Structure 1
Amino acid sequence: MDTQVADTLLGSLIDGRYRIRGRVARGGMATVYTATDERLERTVAVKIIHPTQAPDPRSPLAGFVERFTDEAKTIARLTHPNVVAVYDQGTHRGLPYLVMEYVRGRTLRDVLAERRRLNPDEALAITEQMLAAIGAAHRAGLVHRDVKPENVLVAEAPTGGAANLVDSVVKVADFGLARAVEASADEEQGTQLMATVAYVAPELVTDGHADPRTDVYSAGIVLFEMLTGRVPYDGDRPVDVAWQHVDRDVPAPSTLVPGLPKALDELVVRATRREPGTRPPDAGAFLAEVQVVREDLGNNNTHTAVLRRVADDTVSAVAQPTMAVASVRPAERPSWARLPEPKPGRHSPNTAPDQPHRRRAAPTGNSPWDRLRRQVSEAAPGRLALVAAVVVVGLLLAGGGWWFGVGRYTVAPELVSLTKAEAETQASRAGLSLTYADPRYDAKAPRDSVLAQEPASAERIVKGGTITLTLSLGPDRFPVPDVVGKEYELAEADLRHLGLEVVKGPARYDDNLPAGVVLDTNPKADAEVNVGAKVTVVVSRGRAPITVPNLVGKSVTDARKELQQLGLVPVETYRDSDRPKDEVIGQSPADGSGVEKGAEVKMEVSKGPAPVAVPRVVDMPCPQGKQVLESQGFPVVVQFNPNGVVRFQNPPENSQVAPGTPITIGCF
């Protein structure tokens, strides 16, 4: 149950305009509220970044506000029916916020929690609208980076009925939010993974690179989950799930749900290939494939048995064990999702041609070629067969000579200096395969870049052949990456990816970083180490359980008693001060700090003012002696004749006394 009792934002007015009414959801980076725009009198959604993501100058997200503002402007330019509209942005109490369209409906995560999985026509209908939104972002140069069911909103169908998912309106939210956080974090502490591990693309795990094909991969995983009711990988730790995307191929959905059409398997497998260059290049291309599959499956519905679900959640069919998909005619699609109309004269594979087959008339003309064609067409069957055989043999010999001499070869592309991923993409486009020789260290080439290739660029290679690449291991020595502020699992993965041995050191309490976050490393960040070096990682235990009280201004006796009652150990040092003797004038740790039981708390205690020497005033006229003493801060008591000569003083001259000590002088 989501309690709102302690939420101080409820009922508050943001920017003099947006009145917060209720909390809708709380995510990893932000909380979403419903609010009333009191200027336009409409309901909106307000997304406010968590205080833990606030742009403290010491925080790794110091540039976040500027990034967040730039991303908001980019998102606001996306005018598409399937994108959650952005109306406004600003900061409230130092926290960035977005004002967005309020969508009345549920997230796709809520739908899957209720239904477990969807039938194919529902899954394809939702995927079409989702890809239409992401495709609009790709055309605007924006990558979502965090496509998942939580960011897909399913509004009420225009035709009514909450269960009618095929006609529901789908909207995609959170464009650019992950990018804003990631870009700000990169400036301060290096690349960190800003995505949901269940849907993260392999290239985002290995090198932090994201482009439209990254969103295509995540959309493919979402389609897989809608069809099967689960994500392809799970694990005890997020880092284990993330690396399964790198090391394993996503299985076909029909391996988990028998009876799904093969076309759906092929659609999911194409979108979730580990190599980005082999996926559809962007969401628009993937949308076109989804639409073709949906229409093909719908058109074949007359030959597909209607399925019914039985009580034990199995599927039975009257005829062929293939799930049915509702037919969708192109004219029924909205304008943003309509396929191009077929060109005149073209027929689908299942459509008969308009005209019956007619025998081709004999060629006319007097050219040698025309005469040869007439002779062939008018020749007797036996002679015709002989002529045809001679022609075929000649063509085969000529074609074979050309193929073995020239045609089967192509030119090797230039792959040296490219990254491994870029080289694989180039080779795939050229229809070539890659193998890898033993890698080697190189002082100038970054890790996983291509040092050499065989055959070399511009040399001949058989089409479909194999190029052998030598990759760089990077410099023999390299700096320790800065992982302070990251979750331990992600920090461990970053360090191990560089070939370093990770040792988890004793955890420490910390007032600023939550439990499980890296506090420090040994060697420190940027220190030069060799491959295989041992790096000790110190992890935060979170805030310590005892809060240090404020002791300054208290007597040392009272301060000592208060610390002992809390189970803390007082340590006292004394120094001169103009404060009263035995008063606490400083402490360490500061008040409000968290410490554990038995910790030492150091107190600086006043020894009182330093003593001063009493000047000599004997034999001076009484008024002059009084003036000298008072000028140095001593109160003066005059005895006998105030107009006489000073004959004695108490305390005597050169006595060490506290500042402000009264001095008595006797005048005669």
Structure 2
Amino acid sequence: MDTQVADTLLGSLIDGRYRIRGRVARGGMATVYTATDERLERTVAVKIIHPTQAPEPPSRLAGFVTRFTDEAKTIARLTHPNVVAVYDQGTHGGLPYLVMEYVRGRTLRDVLAERRRLNPDEALAITEQMLSALAAAHRAGLVHRDVKPENVLVAEAPTGGPANLVDSVVKVADFGLARAVEASEENGNQLMATVAYVAPELVTEGRADARTDVYSAGIVLFEMLTGRVPYDGDRPVDVAWQHVDKDVPAPSTLVPGLPRGLDDLVARATRRDPGARPADAGALLAEAQVVREDLGKPDNTHTAVLRRVTDGPQPVAEPTMVVAAVQPAQRPSWARLPETPAAQPHRRRAASTPTDDAGGLAALRGRLGGGQGRLGIAAVVVVFGLVAALAGWWFGVGRYTVAPELVSLSKTEAEAQAARAGFNIDYGEPRYDEKAPRDRVVGQSPASAARIVKGGTITLVLSLGPERFPLPDVVGKDYELAVGDLKNLKLAVVKGPARYDDNLPKGVVVGTSPKAGTQVKPGTRVTVVVSRGRAPISVPQLVGRNVNEARAALGQLGLVPVETYKDSDKPKDEILGQSPADGAGVEKGAQVKLEVSKGPAAVVVPRVVDLPCPQAQQQLQAQGFPVNVQFNPNGIVRFQNPGENAQVPPGTQVTIGCL
């Protein structure tokens, strides 16, 4: 039976209230578990500091716990819809823990691992909610100190989690945790922030304020827009010092076509001089809202250049790509995206034109009054009729043609055929397809044979190929959490028969079929097997006992022996091995496999009759037979027992009679 070593905390009860159900994640400072608050009957998240983060010697632990408790109280007072709420705190096994709101969703790190980078409107939507949470903390005098994608949770939408992240709810976690741990360090200035997002002043001076969080938030925005962090290196210290020595590059240098306003926003947030950054997350939030409002204007052909209120007029930005951002009024109310003040519409006054020109009208009537005037009117009517007919034909029929059939062609073939027909090509969001290989056209708009303007644009949808992904490992998780993880991947979950397990508590997943790591596709049927806890009967120790004793012992416990015999130098019928091993838990009626000794292999007795007695005795002893000599030890052997060629166990005594 395959087993997996379980986390010792799984199934345990903390503070007589929180039952640990499953492990969600393990980070550098703490491990996060899901737990059931048995007092309020709700699911919560429990974060427990790693033993390696607790200070040594134990005499310093009390001070560490006190600082951690004070920090937890400060965080608990921070109430905001974009902040993961803290419900309780305490210690377990000498290690501090926090009880927090359980957010059903993924971390921003998980989203970026799947998507690599985000669209500008999605990146801004997540950034604004993240900054809104940080702004609330800064107003309360709290600095996060470790802003990174791992600490940003993207919660599922009430509608089931739309693909567009603009409608997702963002929550920031771990406020003050880095500070509480850092304060316990011996030297007092150990760098706890993640080096990919660390602000220069933390590297050079070890100090942090609200502008430190602003810098880290700017790096997170950079990564969402480009799919990478600005610096890398062989050692963490090399990465950290690049923040000190270099300016963060503009995102558009890595992703051409990004609006200049986004470049300016990242540049303002990531200035190396803290004094040149926005004063706190609230100030950066206001600038982000300006960018979003500018990108969302339907007639926008350029992006706004961010400036401080005290700065002078800014030059008009150069034209760039238009990005449509979702406006606040279009978002669901539960998205909690911070609102911007409603923009004042720019109204134009219609210029009045004089129409009461009596003299001009009189002259016109005079010119059209005669016969030539009537002919002129007829000619004008005919000309206008022809023009209208031609215009109607052009706008209704003439400028249109039919779209070619591009579905099922490869990307290269489709581009070539569209170019020959004079059409432009654009690409929509690709999708998985079970039948079409990667980069095969699986959809087009307009459809084939539909009307399209000559020289117009055809939008193609390319195949990503069959969707396959490794089945996640849910062993050790609470059944409900495991089912949620699997259903999020669009897998069909079936609960298999529960089985006893010596290591995993009742209700925890002990295995799946297919096994974890198997490549599966959406809709795959996954059978989840849940632990029934330890079996009620312990297998006794049977090795070295006689088979008859083993049978009797197993029979008393209601277990069934299954015997297999094999050659051995051990005595006949002695138990050589057993499965399950002694101490394993089994249920009544279970089989216990026993390996039983057949005894040593038989040996052949040689012929010694007619040999001199001393020679016969020497030959038998050389082959391991004890010899019993009768009558004349110096005579000739006249009989032997066992007889010649008899098969006997090793060490059997041979009697010879000498006369």
TM-score normalised by structure 1 residue count: 0.48
Bigger RCO of structures 1 and 2 (CA < 8 A, at least 6 apart): 2
TM-score normalised by structure 2 residue count: 0.48
